Chains A and B, each alone.
Chain A
Amino acid sequence: MDAIFLQILNGLDKGSAYALIALGLTLIFGTLGVVNFAHGALFMIGAFCAVTLQRFLNLSYSAVDETKTDFLGNPMVVKTPYVEGWFGPELGQAIIAWSVPLAILLAIPVMLFVGFAMERGLIKHFYKRPHADQILVTFGLAIVLQEIIKYYFGANPIQTPAPPALVGSFDFGVLLGFDPNVIIYPIWRLVYFIFALVIICAVFAFLQFTTFGMVVRAGMADRETVGLLGINIDKRFTIMFGVAASVAGLAGVMYGPILAPNYHMGMDFLVLSFVVVVVGGMGSLPGAVAAGFILGILQSFASMNEVKALMPGIDQIVIYLIAIIILLTRPRGLMGRKGVMED
């Protein structure tokens, strides 16, 4: 029982990332009808927002401290980050330590901007083109974005540590009545899961309870009619593209402490996220989220030793296997709407 519970927990962090990326992909697909292969790159850009902020906060000035000497006997040069100079050493240290969560504040405007720029500059011209063209041009864009990041940040992964207060593990099992020391879970992963839940709830609440969201949902159901009612649906869809980009970006920001950001992390996640979207059903937001978590958890179950002994290699292929089975038995995926992408 506790082993099963532990695997569910282990699947949650990956599942959260899949769910967030798939949510963004589905938002874009559902609103604009565009298959966005650059979505993984948006995830990656989000992660590099955290890297950028971390570097920016660590910018330091050098000052000569006459009271101390280095090992040669000369006055020591002390490097102090500007932040410490401005806010005092204690607050400054804290700001630097919390750079990853703080990067959320940076990532939202950056990702909104990237999203708007992408939609207005490129995607707009591809509404009427076939899906294959959309896939190809966004695939090219993904390569370009990835190479730009590689040019500025190098090819090696860059560590973005979590705040010290959230590093390490804690005994999660005790809280739920299991024996002590059975279910030890890293704090940051739990934080990531909660963060993902908050974002997902926020997106759904936005779509469900605001007028703007209502119009967008109406547009997803029947774009033409909404347009005929005199509503500028294109503008709203552009904003939704920005929202979807921010969701992917935020997923990337917070994923940094789990997986050190590197320039090809987006592509690695993209392929799986597409599988997730298709399994969940093209165009279905709850489907994407559910499929994300389900596949993440199934993947962690498949990497249990007991399962691997039974079916060797299953941990490597379980997601793809499930995808194939689901696509062949439920053509629209788990919760796909009728008439979406059925050709």
Chain B
Amino acid sequence: MPGLDRKDTRFFILIVAATLLMPFILQPFPEGSGMAQFNAGYPDLMQRFVIFGIFAMGFNILFGLTGYLSFGHAAFLGVGSYATVWMYKLLGFNVVPGLILAVICSAIFAVVIGYVSLRRSGIYFSILTLAFAEMSYRLAYSVLTPITNGETGLQVYSNDPQVLMGPGSPESTHFFGLEMASSYVMQIGGWAFTFNFGFYFAAAIFIAMFYLTMRIFRSPFGMMLRAVKSNQQRMNYTGLNSRPYTLAAFVISGSYAGLAGGLLAAMDPLAGAERMFWTESGAVVLMTILGGAGTLLGPVLGAGFIKYFENIFSKINDNVLHGWFAWMPDGLEDFMVAIIHPFVGKGWHLTLGLLFMAVVIFLPGGLVEGGQRVARIFRRRDKKAPEGSPEEQAAEQRNPGPAE
């Protein structure tokens, strides 16, 4: 790939393959089996994986590289959604103008907020971004109702102009005639794999964005951002003005969020102010940290992880639990169900909170660091392999260092 070395190219191809094969990978259990509820291969969830992957990836460009912890990123998500739905209302259901406007609007928004907020750093920056996001949220509910449609949420009505709507245009969101909702279901044995156009559209954008992020991470610009994180003062002393770099990072990351918001509206032509609420900003922070801030893959993993648990864990109720422990003696079964009950179903947030605390305490690098630690254990085992074996050579390649 242009701009990527061999290792990165391999990594990128792996990501592309994993993304495109998601309908297979996430559907490991046959339909109707007891484990089928753990399948995540349905379009709605897969779309969320890639869209929130983009959101978290963008947040990571700001937080992971420069260390500026923004607590108001959901504002850009909301702006993107509103912009896209407005394009539906004015032009028609083609998503392209909407997504373009979403990126432009959120970028402009990010320039304004970033210009003001980046005058301060540390917790003051967090509070400033939080204040801006809360203001957007509250205004969207009150004064800006003509633009945002208040609590009802912005949606397309039949009397909207939609000037580009021809007689034959689809009545739902589409990409030049290909409808987002259209799916093809493939039955193989007991398995049903759903291929949804909306998912593949979002996945294509995700892959493009991942490539862009990779280039940013490996570029001199990315290096500059890392320098801001490690020692901004020193950077200033050397005569570099770091503000343009941080502002650029803020705007880029805001546009990612806007694009994600636009994609959310592309999958479901609705936009509501609740997308701007600060808990949503908190969620993207959780995703990034959980996965591993400052790494390429981490935020994406974190986003997938949280969205998966949100959808799957919250569906486990007492009946399902009783089904699992049916093989135990009655008393023990009830006991197990009673123990697990608070952590699943409606209480899955408790699991999320505990998990999140555990990650921050024990694995500050997130899931990626966890994976690396596990990998290191395996590498040590590699070392014990007989000399000159292929394993050892591979281990040497992966972990070049002074010979023992």
Assess whether A135 is in contact with B69, with CB atoms less than 8 Å apart.
yes
Residue of A141, A143, A271 near B134 (CB, 8 A) is A271
Q: Which of A43-51, A67-75, A184-192, A311-319 lies at the binding interface?
A: A311-319
Instruction: Kindly list chain B residues whose C-beta atoms are within 8 Å of the C-beta of A122.
Output: 357, 361
Assess whether A313 is in contact with B143, with CB atoms less than 8 Å apart.
yes
Complex-state Cα separation, A343 to B278, whole angstroms: 24
With both chains docked as a complex, state the minimum distance between the C-beta of B344 and any C-beta of chain A, in angstroms.
12
Instruction: Kindly list chain B residues whose C-beta atoms are within 8 Å of the C-beta of A100.
Output: none
A214 within 8 A of B: no
Instruction: Kindly list chain B residues whose C-beta atoms are within 8 Å of the C-beta of A321.
Output: 131, 135
Complex-state Cα separation, A141 to B357, whole angstroms: 7
Assess whether A312 is in contact with B347, with CB atoms less than 8 Å apart.
no
Question: Of residues 126 to 179 in A, which have CB atoms within 8 Å of B's CB atoms?
Answer: 129, 131-133, 135-137, 139-144, 146-148, 150-151
Given the known A-B contacts A140-B353, A271-B134, A317-B135, are A341 and B122 also in contact in the complex, defined by CB atoms under 8 Å?
A: yes
With both chains docked as a complex, state the minimum distance between the C-beta of A308 and any C-beta of chain B, in angstroms.
10
Assess whether B357 is in contact with A316, with CB atoms less than 8 Å apart.
no
A125 within 8 A of B: yes
Given the known A-B contacts A275-B131, A313-B143, A324-B132, are A136 and B289 also in contact in the complex, defined by CB atoms under 8 Å?
A: yes
Instruction: Kindly list chain A residues whose C-beta atoms are within 8 Å of the C-beta of B357.
Output: 122, 137, 140-141, 144
B139 within 8 A of A: yes
Complex-state Cα separation, A19 to B122, whole angstroms: 23
Assess whether A327 is in contact with B128, with CB atoms less than 8 Å apart.
yes
Count of interface residues, chain B, beta-carbon cutoff 8 Å = 40
Hey, what's the 0/1 contact readout for B119-148 against A, CB within 8 Å counting as 1? Answer: 111111011101110110011011110000
Complex-state Cα separation, A320 to B142, whole angstroms: 15
Assess whether A312 is in contact with B143, with CB atoms less than 8 Å apart.
yes
Instruction: Kindly list chain A residues whose C-beta atoms are within 8 Å of the C-beta of B121.
Output: 343
With both chains docked as a complex, state the minimum distance between the C-beta of B289 and any C-beta of chain A, in angstroms.
6
Complex-state Cα separation, A324 to B139, whole angstroms: 16
A85 within 8 A of B: no
The range of chain A's interface size is 35 or more
Residue of A150, A282, A324 near B123 (CB, 8 A) is A282
Assess whether A324 is in contact with B353, with CB atoms less than 8 Å apart.
no
Assess whether B139 is in contact with A140, with CB atoms less than 8 Å apart.
no
Assess whether B143 is in contact with A136, with CB atoms less than 8 Å apart.
no
A274 within 8 A of B: yes
Complex-state Cα separation, A148 to B353, whole angstroms: 11
Assess whether A147 is in contact with B135, with CB atoms less than 8 Å apart.
no
Q: In this complex, what residue of B is CB-closest to A316?
A: B138
With both chains docked as a complex, state the minimum distance between the C-beta of A144 and any C-beta of chain B, in angstroms.
4
Assess whether A131 is in contact with B127, with CB atoms less than 8 Å apart.
no
Complex-state Cα separation, A142 to B279, whole angstroms: 12
Given the known A-B contacts A132-B69, A316-B139, are A331 and B120 also in contact in the complex, defined by CB atoms under 8 Å?
A: yes
Hey, what's the 0/1 contact readout for B332-357 against A, CB within 8 Å counting as 1? Answer: 00000000001000010110111011
A196 within 8 A of B: no
Assess whether B353 is in contact with A323, with CB atoms less than 8 Å apart.
no
Assess whether B131 is in contact with A324, with CB atoms less than 8 Å apart.
yes
B116 within 8 A of A: yes
Residue of B116, B139, B142, B349 near A147 (CB, 8 A) is B349
A42 within 8 A of B: no
Complex-state Cα separation, A132 to B70, whole angstroms: 11
Instruction: Kindly list chain A residues whose C-beta atoms are within 8 Å of the C-beta of B134.
Output: 271, 317, 320
Complex-state Cα separation, A316 to B138, whole angstroms: 6
With both chains docked as a complex, state the minimum distance between the C-beta of A250 and any C-beta of chain B, in angstroms.
25
Given the known A-B contacts A144-B350, A275-B131, A327-B128, are A316 and B142 also in contact in the complex, defined by CB atoms under 8 Å?
A: yes
Given the known A-B contacts A151-B342, A271-B134, A317-B139, are A144 and B127 also in contact in the complex, defined by CB atoms under 8 Å?
A: no
With both chains docked as a complex, state the minimum distance between the C-beta of B86 and any C-beta of chain A, in angstroms.
20
Complex-state Cα separation, A324 to B127, whole angstroms: 9
Complex-state Cα separation, A331 to B134, whole angstroms: 21
B364 within 8 A of A: yes
Instruction: Kindly list chain A residues whose C-beta atoms are within 8 Å of the C-beta of B354.
Output: 140, 144
A278 within 8 A of B: yes
Which of A125, A275, A282, A323 has most B Cβ within 10 Å?
A323
Complex-state Cα separation, A38 to B279, whole angstroms: 14
B321 within 8 A of A: no
Complex-state Cα separation, A282 to B122, whole angstroms: 12
Instruction: Kindly list chain A residues whose C-beta atoms are within 8 Å of the C-beta of B135.
Output: 316-317, 320-321
Assess whether B131 is in contact with A143, with CB atoms less than 8 Å apart.
no
A35 within 8 A of B: yes
Question: Of residues 243 to 289 in A, which have CB atoms within 8 Å of B's CB atoms?
Answer: 267, 271, 274-275, 278, 282
B282 within 8 A of A: yes
Q: In this complex, what residue of A is CB-closest to B289?
A: A136
Given the known A-B contacts A35-B123, A328-B119, are A271 and B353 also in contact in the complex, defined by CB atoms under 8 Å?
A: no
Sample (17) of A-B pairs whose CB atoms are under 8 Å apart: A132-B69, A133-B364, A137-B360, A143-B349, A143-B352, A143-B353, A144-B350, A147-B353, A151-B342, A271-B130, A275-B130, A275-B131, A313-B139, A316-B138, A317-B138, A324-B128, A328-B116
Question: Which A residues form the contact surface with B (CB < 8 A)?
Answer: 35, 122, 125, 129, 131-133, 135-137, 139-144, 146-148, 150-151, 267, 271, 274-275, 278, 282, 312-313, 316-317, 320-321, 323-324, 327-328, 331, 341-343
Q: Give 11 A-B pairs besides A282-B123, A323-B128 with Cβ atoms closer than 8 angstroms.
A: A122-B357, A133-B360, A136-B356, A136-B360, A137-B361, A143-B353, A144-B350, A317-B138, A324-B131, A341-B122, A341-B124
Question: Which B residues form the contact surface with A (CB < 8 A)?
Answer: 67, 69, 116, 119-124, 126-128, 130-132, 134-135, 138-139, 141-144, 278-279, 282, 285, 289, 342, 347, 349-350, 352-354, 356-357, 360-361, 364
